[in-house]
């Protein structure tokens, strides 16, 4: 009924690590798939 405990055997990650490993990867995937566009001040153009 409940989802598995992801942190049963491992220590939870801190916010900076989660952002690097998960959030940034998801953002890059959404940009590549044309699902999301970063704000103009974050663009490399």
What is the end-to-end Cα distance of the chain in Å, rounded?
Answer: 47
Domain that holds residue 31: 13-44
Considering its fold, how many domains does the chain have in total?
A: 1
Structural domain includes residue 22: yes
Does the reported pTM lie above 0.75?
no
Instruction: Give the pLDDT confidence of 1-45 residue by residue, as tens digits.
Output: 676 776 778 777 788 988 888 888 888 999 999 999 988 888 876
Structural domain includes residue 29: yes
Structural domain includes residue 5: no
3-state DSSP assignment of residue 16:
helix
pLDDT value for 45: 66
**How far is residue 9 from each of residues 13, 17, 29, 33, measured CA to CA in Å?**
12, 18, 29, 34
């Amino acid at each position: 009924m409940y989802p598995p405990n992801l942190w049963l055997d491992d220590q939870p990650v801190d916010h900076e690590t989660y952002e690097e490993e998960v959030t940034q990867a998801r953002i890059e995937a959404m940009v590549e798939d044309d699902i999301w566009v970063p704000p103009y001040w974050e663009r490399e153009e």
